[in-house]
Amino acid sequence: MKIDLKKLILILSLLSLFITLSNSLFASFRVQKESLIHNTLESNYAYATKIAFSVRDLMSSASTQLLYSSRILSQDFKNKKLLDDEAKRIRNQSNIFNSVFIANNEGVVLATDPDLGIKGQTLSSAGSEIALREKKPFISDPFIAQTGRLLITVSQPIFDNEEVYLGYISGTIYLNDPSILNHMLNKHFHIDGSYIYVVDDERRIIFHPDKKRIGDQVNGNPVIDDISNKNSGLKQIVNSEGIEMLAGYHYVPEVGWGIVTQRPLSSTLEPMNELIYRVMLNALPMTILLILFIVQCARIISKPLRRLAEGASTMDIGQIKTTKAWYFETMALQKALISGISFMQGKIDKLNSDVAKDALTGLANRRVYEICINTWESYHRSVAIIAIDIDHFKKVNDTYGHAVGDEVLKKLSEIMSSCARAADVVCRIGGEEFLILAPAMSRDSAKEMAERIRVQVSEYDFNTVGNITISLGVAVWPYDCSKLSQLSKMADDMLYQAKANGRNRVETADELE
Secondary structure tally for the chain: helices H, strands E: 13, 16
Nearest residue to 114 (alpha-carbon basis) of 200, 177, 40, 70:
177
How do beta strands 109-113 and 99-104 pair? Answer: antiparallel
Residue 331 has pLDDT above 70, yes or no: yes
Find the mean pLDDT for residues 478-492: 87
DSSP conformation letters of 120-161:
TPBP-SHHHHHHHHH-S-EEPPPEE-TTS-EEEEEEEEEE-T
CA distances from 384 to 146, 199, 375, 462, 512 (A): 115, 95, 14, 28, 17
Q: What is the rounded CA–CA span in Å between residue 257 and residue 246?
A: 19
Mean pLDDT: which of 60-64, 110-114, 276-280, 505-509 is highest? 505-509
pLDDT of residue 224: 87
pLDDT class of 250 with cuts at 50, 70, 90: very high
Q: Which CATH superfamily is domain 66-174 in?
A: PAS domain (3.30.450.20)
Q: What is the rounded CA–CA span in Å between residue 366 and residue 429?
A: 5
Nearest residue to 221 (alpha-carbon basis) of 206, 241, 207:
241
- Convert the pLDDT of each residue in 456-470 to its tens digit: 999 999 988 899 999
pLDDT of residue 189: 54
Residue 100 has pLDDT above 80, yes or no: yes
pLDDT of residue 163: 87
pLDDT of residue 505: 94
CA distances from 358 to 39, 60, 472 (A): 95, 126, 20
Find the mean pLDDT for residues 124-142: 81
Lowest-confidence range among 68-72, 250-254, 340-344?
340-344
Nearest residue to 237 (alpha-carbon basis) of 41, 61, 87:
41
- Convert the pLDDT of each residue in 295-323 to its tens digit: 787 777 777 777 777 777 777 777 777 77
Could you tell me if 420 and 436 are in contact, meaning their C-beta atoms sit under 8 angstroms apart?
A: yes
Residue 270 has pLDDT above 60, yes or no: yes
Residue 504 has pLDDT above 60, yes or no: yes
Could you tell me if 52 and 251 are in contact, meaning their C-beta atoms sit under 8 angstroms apart?
A: yes
Find the mean pLDDT for residues 61-66: 87
Nearest residue to 116 (alpha-carbon basis) of 155, 83, 147:
147
Could you tell me if 469 and 391 are in contact, meaning their C-beta atoms sit under 8 angstroms apart?
A: yes
**To the nearest 5 percent, what fractions of the chain are helix, strand and coil?**
55, 20, 25
pLDDT of residue 385: 94
Active site residues: 432
| 46-56+180-268 has CATH 3.30.450.20 classification | yes
pLDDT of residue 219: 84
pLDDT class of 44 with cuts at 50, 70, 90: confident
Q: What is the rounded CA–CA span in Å between residue 77 and residue 71?
A: 10
Q: Of all residues in the chain, what percent carry a pLDDT higher than 90?
A: 19
pLDDT of residue 351: 61
Q: How much is the mean pLDDT over the chain?
A: 83
pLDDT class of 149 with cuts at 50, 70, 90: confident
Decide which of 282 and 468 is more confident.
468
Residue 249 has pLDDT above 60, yes or no: yes
Q: What is the rounded CA–CA span in Å between residue 433 and residue 409?
A: 10
Q: What is the rounded CA–CA span in Å between residue 424 and residue 445?
A: 13
Q: What is the rounded CA–CA span in Å between residue 391 and residue 469?
A: 6
**SS3 annotation, 222-287:** HHHHHHHCCCCEEEEEECCCCCEEEEEEEEECCCCEEEEEEEEHHHHHHHHHHHHHHHHHHHHHHH
pLDDT of residue 191: 58
Instruction: Please tell me the total number of residues recorded for the chain in this structure.
Output: 513
Lowest-confidence range among 28-42, 69-83, 244-258, 325-339?
325-339
Could you tell me if 468 and 503 are in contact, meaning their C-beta atoms sit under 8 angstroms apart?
A: no
pLDDT of residue 355: 65
pLDDT of residue 350: 67
pLDDT class of 352 with cuts at 50, 70, 90: low
Residue 503 has pLDDT above 90, yes or no: yes
Nearest residue to 492 (alpha-carbon basis) of 411, 406, 401, 385:
385
pLDDT class of 474 with cuts at 50, 70, 90: very high
Find the mean pLDDT for residues 176-202: 73
Residue 271 has pLDDT above 90, yes or no: no
Could you tell me if 74 and 161 are in contact, meaning their C-beta atoms sit under 8 angstroms apart?
A: yes
How do beta strands 506-508 and 470-477 pair? Answer: parallel
Q: What is the DSSP letter of 216?
A: P
Find the mean pLDDT for residues 59-73: 87
* Domain 355-512 in this protein, CATH class: alpha beta
pLDDT of residue 333: 77
Beta bridge partners of 157: 168
pLDDT of residue 94: 74
Residue 475 has pLDDT above 90, yes or no: yes
pLDDT of residue 435: 95
pLDDT of residue 506: 95
Residue 25 has pLDDT above 90, yes or no: no
pLDDT of residue 426: 94
Helices 5-73 and 80-94, packing angle to 10 deg? 160
Chain-centroid distance, C-alpha 508: 54
Find the mean pLDDT for residues 9-34: 75
pLDDT of residue 8: 74
pLDDT class of 447 with cuts at 50, 70, 90: very high
pLDDT of residue 53: 87
pLDDT class of 453 with cuts at 50, 70, 90: very high
Mean pLDDT: which of 353-357, 380-384, 422-426 is highest? 422-426
Q: Of all residues in the chain, what percent carry a pLDDT higher than 70?
A: 93
Find the mean pLDDT for residues 247-264: 88
